[in-house]
Amino acid sequence: MAMQFVDLKYQYQIYKEEIHKEIDKVLSSAAFIRGPAVAELEQSLAEFVGVKHAIGCASGTDALLIGLMAEGVKPGDEIIVPDFTFVATAEVIVLLGGTPVFADILPKSFCIDPESIQKCVTGKTVGVIPVSLYGQCADFFSIQEIANKHGLWILEDGAQSFGATYRGKKSCGITQLGATSFFPAKPLGCYGDGGAIFTNDDELAEKLRMILNHGQEKRYLHTTIGLNARLDTLQAAIVQVKLRHFEREIENRQHVAGMYTDALQGIVETPTVEKGNTSVWAQYTIMTDRRDDLAAGLKERGIPTAIHYPRPLHSQPALAYLGGADSDNPVSVRASKRVLSLPMHPFLTEKEVAFIAGSVREIVGG
Ligand SMILES: *Cc1c(COP(=O)(O)O)cnc(C)c1O
């Protein structure tokens, strides 16, 4: 069988019985919307992260959007985001009439640079969305200091880092709000779209729950404008099964990353994990000046790769109206030209990693 970038088929085969049992329960109950599996998952997720409230929602993008709505983002508000991330981080700001302001990233962790955040703060800044990219957390200690100084809220985009730790705390439980995604290819994925948002703040939790269900306070009493952004019961049941195996999968991912780094060090720039962090390796992303040759060579050998991300957000056509320039964020621009993500999932074998690493060595020399 062809090598997979993320092997969801194999994962399904090994958890199949458990998954079918939980799906059958939902189907037999016909409680497809807000069925018991949703609250059960929320309880498990809150325990896992170590926060008071975990709230399931329809996607990672909705988790971010609901978070911004609960923070009361309004037209004219500026929110600082990294220039180098998936578009959803900025998209949700624009949807609410806010203005994303693009900060640069750090060259090693690929996460937002606190010094760059400081430079982006204006009188209109209301918050920051640091992204815990590729599986490890941003530098929240420094970010929190800046936020405290300027009275900003912080919403962690933990779509790629669920399960990672920062100074002993779990991703999504570090700042007042954390958002994650259960998109199938994320470290903890469902079989469709799904997401969750996390907080210790009772008042925020109540707002978040109302917003994701049409701003409904009680049946047909709508006290705020909301969305239909509920997590499907079926998806909740599937995530619950995968959560049982998640810690072991994270260990496997870390083992795979270690094998890659041992084999690739000195040949390409290998990714590093910052002191105080553990990574869940959503991506294993290397950097090389010969990125495009390498991707083509690996493809010839049947090895899939991906570029996360080929353009910094300021240069996306939909966001060009903001007037960002390459010279504003040189680290993001350089990363976008040099990054390449290799296959990464918990079931990669030593043999496969050796084949991939050997192929990289053949193509780019060393
Ligand atoms: C995947 C992702 C999202 C969006 O999650 P969806 O569930 O696909 O909506 C947001 N931010 C980042 C950094 C992501 O990787």
Upper half-sphere CA count for residue 187 (Cβ side, 13 Å): 31
89 lines ligand 1 (CB under 6 A): yes
Rounded to whole angstroms, the Cα distance separating 94 from 172 reads 23
Looking at the predicted structure, is the pLDDT value of residue 273 above 80?
Answer: yes
Q: Closest residue (by CA) to atom 2 of ligand 1?
A: 159
Query: What strand order describes the sheet that includes 277-278?
Result: 169-170, 165-166, 277-278
**Each residue's pLDDT tens digit, 205-257:** 999 999 999 999 999 999 999 999 999 999 999 999 999 999 999 999 999 99
Kindly state the average pLDDT of the residues 271-288.
98
Average pLDDT, the chain: 97
Kindly state the average pLDDT of the residues 280-294.
97
Best residue among 181, 193, 280 to mutate for probing ligand 1's pocket (most ligand atoms within 8 Å of CB) is 181
Q: For residue 122, give Cα distances in angstroms to 70, 126, 127.
A: 22, 9, 11
Ligand 1: atom nearest CA of 282 is: 15
**Each residue's pLDDT tens digit, 177-211:** 999 999 999 999 999 999 999 999 999 999 999 99
259 close to 56: Cβ distance less than 8 angstroms = no
Q: pTM for the complete prediction?
A: 0.98
3-state helix, strand, coil in the chain (%, to 5): 45, 15, 40
**Each residue's pLDDT tens digit, 76-104:** 999 999 999 999 999 999 999 999 999 99
Q: Binning pLDDT at 50, 70 and 90, where does residue 6 land?
A: very high
Looking at the predicted structure, is the pLDDT value of residue 365 above 90?
Answer: no
Residue 120 pairs with which residues in a beta bridge?
none
What is the three-class DSSP state of 15?
helix
Size (the chain), residues: 366
Q: Binning pLDDT at 50, 70 and 90, where does residue 1 land?
A: low
Q: Closest residue (by CA) to atom 7 of ligand 1?
A: 60
DSSP state of 173: S
